[in-house]
Chain A
Amino acid sequence: MEDKILLAHGSGGKLSHDLIAKNFVPAFGNPLLNKLDDSAAFELSGRLAFTTDSYIVSPIFFPGGDIGKLAVNGTVNDLAMIGATPLYLSLSFIIEEGFLIAELEKIVNSINQAADEAGVKIVAGDTKVVNQGSADKLFINTSGIGIVPPGVDISGANAIPGDKVIVSGNLGDHGIAVLSQREGLKFQVPVESDCAPLNKLVAEMLEASANIHSLRDPTRGGLATTLNEFAKQSQVGIRIEEENILINKAVLAACELLGFDPLYVANEGKLVAVVAPSDADKVLTRMRQNQYGTEAAIIGEVVNEHPGKVVMKTCLGSSRIIDMPAGELLPRIC
């Protein structure tokens, strides 16, 4: 009876309070949250960064992570991608009636671990329970607040011809890891999600150089989408070289099988940086010293030609346009 989430857990009554007191506060406990007031109040000074995201991944547990880890790291990374130092997060759970409390505990635990690693605090939260069928097990909405250090100005609109494009590692692990577990698509693949907090990597990159122009984590839509966004926002062309892009062999094999292009597959622990050419090597060296940037590489550069477009030189020496993807990736037939 007690091992499943009931509608009453979201009613605001005793069961709600028990859930918060037993499951959430001990895990996330910090002075701001422990007060259990309607809002968390705190002092901040400087330029604030503020972001929000919702997590609806299916399945909620996947190789290399779960929806909780994803929610924390996704929000932390959104803040980090404009150079901000992430500080505080809110978490809002929408839980489907009947969800196992043991699974919720596992997710809370991984949220806690992810928050610890990233050095952020959960300071506000909410829980709603909906009827069976009205949500798919568990949805998490987050918001995050951080501070942008003085002098840091990072934007997708700041890329300048001549800049180097750096990717922090191999691509496509998260998308393939999640897809391999999805109903109707189950296949065995030795790939784990790359889900990771990138704020420390970014902080180290900022220490190494004041000339990082653009940063973004290539999540949904993959590297192709991020580069197209940069090219359009900055009205520049981007040229990349296929041979410099690192893709795990198992990811490549799965993509071949499914008819996907790994450049369009999601990542949750990688970043793309556009850096002034004079600082590119310095940034690269620093990135490779961080556990989430050991495989970082320069994959291309920003050019004056073909503004708004991304062009890749293939291994055979031909060129092809890397376009924005249209809609969801769907497996091919034969």
Chain B
Amino acid sequence: MKFIDEYHNPELGKRLIDRIHHHSTKPIRLMEFCGGHTVAIFKHGIRQLLPTTIDMLSGPGCPVCVTANVDLDKAIALARLPNVIITTFGDMLRVPGSYSSLQLAKAERSDIRVVYSVQDALGIARDNPDKSVIFIGIGFETTAPTIAASILQAEQEGIDNYYVLPLHKLCPPIMKALLDLGEVRLDGIICPGHVSAIIGSYPYQFIPDDYGIACVVSGFEPLDILLCVDRLVNQIETGQYKVEIAYLRGVKPEGNKHALKLMGTVFEVCDANWRGVGLVPLSGLRLNKRYQRFDAERSFDIDPGPTHEAKGCICGSILRGVSTPQDCKLFRRSCTPEHPVGPCMVSSEGSCATYYHYGDSYGR
């Protein structure tokens, strides 16, 4: 993994930091959309290295965090069905829904298994033909193609006990929704790296064109992020707003055509529920008609009951960039990683967990 050392190089890092300090003259506010970027920024102490002219905000790009309680409750209700094995990415386990979590359901003897890849979920379905195996399909455009591939494979192999609870969300529509809300003034956006590897950079074109905001796609190593900030500062200082890619080893402007085709084969765009924002038109994915039989929500009769939001939790406004975790009365008091109240404290990429672990005075 030679990339790791190369993209941590202190000398190159210092050169980029100096350049940013030299070029940045006016106060600006940048948002990193993706939770992976938030973690990298805090982990490498990047906020401390930037000039005071640059204000950094964390955005909604954590798939666990933006999953609405109503959807979490569905996953938990599915887990409680007899003869069902729930397969999920590990991050989802501890997220509290309205009244429970998958972790609690597991302790109450539901069969819930953590997988790293959706292929492993399919393998579990293959090995357990007498059980219904449901994969909790959360994530952005990054994970959707692999889930599409698993459905096509299940069809091809005739695996009829494999289902997906489709909770996929799309990045460009939520970016537009946040900008239209107009709650936060932004000068530049650090666009997600892995998502852009799938969708490319063209879908962000409306951001500079319609909103006059700088856009740069970034990787996740410290030098990637510094280069991205440098490009954003350059766009803003010169007033030339466009979409740039500062992650050329991972992202092509047109994206990954094969992955996009897979997604298009299995999914169709639908309205989706976002925590903190509500229903956003055309911002999610569901299985299209041909593949509906793999849809867990359609295939099982569940009653998740009424939803309930934790009192005092401001995860919603943190996800919109309106508040920071320090603004929350529960942060570090009743809400900690051991006893999370909201999802942003659970997910390793949630803003609250990141501020909690890396924050204090060292995170700025």
Contact = CB atoms under 8 A, between A and B. Distances in A.
**Do A and B come together as binding partners?**
yes
Interface of A: 183-187, 243, 249-250, 252-253, 256, 258-259, 261, 311, 314-321, 323, 326-327, 330-334
A300 to B, nearest CB: 15
Contacts of B214: none
A330 B362 contact: no
B234 to A, nearest CB: 20
A32 B139 CA distance: 59
12 contacts: A185-B114, A252-B4, A253-B4, A256-B4, A317-B13, A317-B49, A319-B45, A320-B362, A323-B356, A332-B36, A333-B91, A334-B142
A333 B48 contact: no
B337 A326 contact: yes
Contact of A185 (B17, B115, B349): B115
B116 A184 contact: yes
Contacts of B10: 243, 315-317
Given A319-B45, A321-B357, A249 B1 contact: yes
Given A316-B44, A321-B357, A252 B1 contact: yes
Given A184-B115, A320-B42, A332 B358 contact: no
B191 to A, nearest CB: 14
A243 B44 CA distance: 12
B48 A331 contact: no
Contact of B45 (A258, A314, A326): A314
B46 A318 contact: yes
A256 B43 CA distance: 13
B140 interface: yes
B359 interface: yes
Interface of B: 1, 4, 8, 10, 13-14, 17, 36, 39, 42-46, 48-49, 63-64, 87, 89-94, 113-116, 120-121, 124, 138-140, 142-143, 194-195, 222, 336-338, 347-349, 356-360, 362-363
B360 to A, nearest CB: 6
Contacts of B360: 321
Contacts of A261: 43
B349 A318 contact: no
Given A256-B1, A317-B14, A320-B363, A185 B120 contact: yes
In this complex, the member of B1, B48, B139, B337 whose beta carbon has the largest number of chain A beta carbons within 10 angstroms is B1
B338 A326 contact: yes
Contact of A316 (B87, B138, B194, B222): B222
B336 A326 contact: yes
B36 A319 contact: no
A317 B64 CA distance: 32
A332 B349 contact: yes
Nearest to B2: A249
A65 to B, nearest CB: 22
B124 to A, nearest CB: 7
Contacts of A185: 114-116, 120
Given A185-B114, A319-B362, A332 B44 contact: no
B49 A318 contact: yes
A318 B44 CA distance: 7
B337 A327 contact: yes
B45 A318 contact: yes
A259 B349 contact: yes
Contacts of B356: 323
A184 B4 contact: no
A315 B7 CA distance: 11
A97 B349 CA distance: 41
Nearest to B62: A333
Given A311-B362, A319-B362, A253 B1 contact: yes
A321 B143 CA distance: 31
Nearest to A316: B13
B36 A334 contact: yes
Nearest to B12: A316
Contact of B143 (A249, A311, A326, A333): A333
Report, nearest first, the 5 A-B pairs whose CB atoms are least far apart: A318-B45, A330-B90, A326-B337, A253-B1, A334-B142
B1 A184 contact: no
Nearest to B39: A259
Nearest to B89: A333
Contacts of B17: 316
Contact of A184 (B8, B120, B139): B120
B139 A334 contact: yes
Contacts of A187: 116
